[in-house]
Chain A
Amino acid sequence: MGLDTSATKAIFFITAVIVAATLAGVFTTITFKFSSNLGVRAQILSSTLESNIKIINDPAAVPYNNTTHLLILYVKNTGKNLISTGEVTVLIDGMVIPSSNVTIQVLTSTGEWYPGSVAQINVTVVLSPGDHTAKVVLSNGVYDEIEFRII
């Protein structure tokens, strides 16, 4: 075997190993990204399945002050996990209420909205007498909606 042949074989070998290692690196990166995304997806799905809320107001007697325009919604955590109050969206008659007009107070000693506990949502909104809808949406898309009447 001549020097030329050995050099050629060495070049082929190095090239082949570099190409194979590059491919291996690409596959590994893609796999880790896929695995990570699958984990995130599982967390989202799990959170959605385990979360549940219920607006427990009496639809015929929802507290509303005609002078201060304060509407009070009582929302019970009927799911299996703790809910964060930070990202709750309130819609009245299909319109999103700005967060500056919404305050949430969890009615527990710890202030945590754990399963079975109730959060009081104070919404400042001008409502005319008649039928209306209120919808409360959590950050994971779980929501509840009621129709109610203002007399």
Chain B
Amino acid sequence: MGFSEIAVTVILFSTFLFVGGVIAAAWISYHNLVDEATIKNAQILSDQVHTNFTINSVVNVTGYLIINATNTGSVTIDLRYTSVLIDGKLYGNVTDFQYYVNGINNTVYWFPREHLSIYVPWTAPLPARVTLVAQDGVEAYWG
């Protein structure tokens, strides 16, 4: 084999090695990123499937509207991101009001099978519709 062939072979072989390495690294990085996102997407869907809660009653008691609800699903609901809508209007998150989870008010988590009472300052007549929306978008209606 002549010197020219050896030089060409060395140049092309090292290029193929380099190119192969770059492609492999890009492919691994792509799959890592997509796999991570797929897991997060699965978590989003899983949370939505397993979140369930019901509004048991809504009562109007001197100056407050008391919303009683039960977490009937298997997902812990974060009350900081649980929205309260009354007659279609957003009033805020549960933690913006006085609230009790199984009688205690120093938690932001609403665990499965626990009871939640929200005290919304209210002087108007009993509303027609109340909606609670969990952090994952799952809703419960009353009215």
* B141: chain A residues within 8 A (beta carbon): 58
Q: Which of B33, B38, B128, B137 is in CB contact (< 8 Å) with A52?
A: B137
Q: What are 18 A-B residue pairs whose CB atoms fall within 8 Å in the complex?
A: A13-B7, A16-B4, A19-B8, A20-B7, A20-B8, A24-B14, A27-B15, A28-B18, A35-B22, A39-B29, A39-B30, A50-B44, A53-B137, A60-B88, A74-B85, A78-B44, A78-B48, A78-B135
Which B residues are CB-close (under 8 A) to A17?
A: 4, 7-8, 11
Q: How distant is A112 from chain B, measured CB to nearest CB, in Å? A: 13
Contact residues, B9-61 vs A (CB, 8 A): 11-12, 14-16, 18-19, 22-23, 25-27, 29-30, 33-34, 36-38, 40-41, 43-44, 48
Chain B interface residues (CB < 8 Å from chain A): 2-5, 7-8, 11-12, 14-16, 18-19, 22-23, 25-27, 29-30, 33-34, 36-38, 40-41, 43-44, 48, 78, 80-81, 83, 85, 87-90, 92, 128-129, 131, 133, 135-137, 139, 141
Chain A residues with a Cβ closer than 8 Å to the other chain, count = 48
Q: Is the CB of A46 within 8 A of B23?
A: no
Question: With A39-B29, A46-B36, A63-B89 given, is the CB distance from A16 to B41 under 8 Å?
Answer: no
Q: Are B43 and A80 in contact (CB under 8 A)?
A: yes
Q: In the complex, which residue of chain B has the Cβ closest to the Cβ of A45?
A: B34
Contact A78 B137 (CB under 8 A): yes
Chain B residue contacts of A48, Cβ below 8 A:
37
The answer to whether B89 and A50 touch across the interface, beta carbons within 8 angstroms, is no
Question: Which residues on B sit within 8 Å (CB–CB) of A41?
Answer: 30
> Lowest 8 CB-CB distances: which A-B pairs, in order?
A61-B88, A116-B81, A54-B137, A35-B26, A24-B15, A46-B37, A49-B37, A78-B137
Q: Once the chains are docked, how many angstroms separate the CA of A58 from the CA of B78?
A: 21
| Chain A residues in 8 Å Cβ range of B3 | 9, 13
- Interface residues of chain A, those whose CB is within 8 Å of chain B, are 9, 12-13, 16-17, 19-21, 23-24, 27-28, 31-32, 34-35, 38-39, 41-43, 45-50, 52-54, 56-58, 60-63, 74, 76, 78-80, 107, 115-118, 120
Cross-chain contact A28 with B41 (CB below 8 angstroms) = no
Q: Cα distance A125–B133 when bound, in Å?
A: 26
Q: Which residues of B contact A9 (CB under 8 A)?
A: 2-4
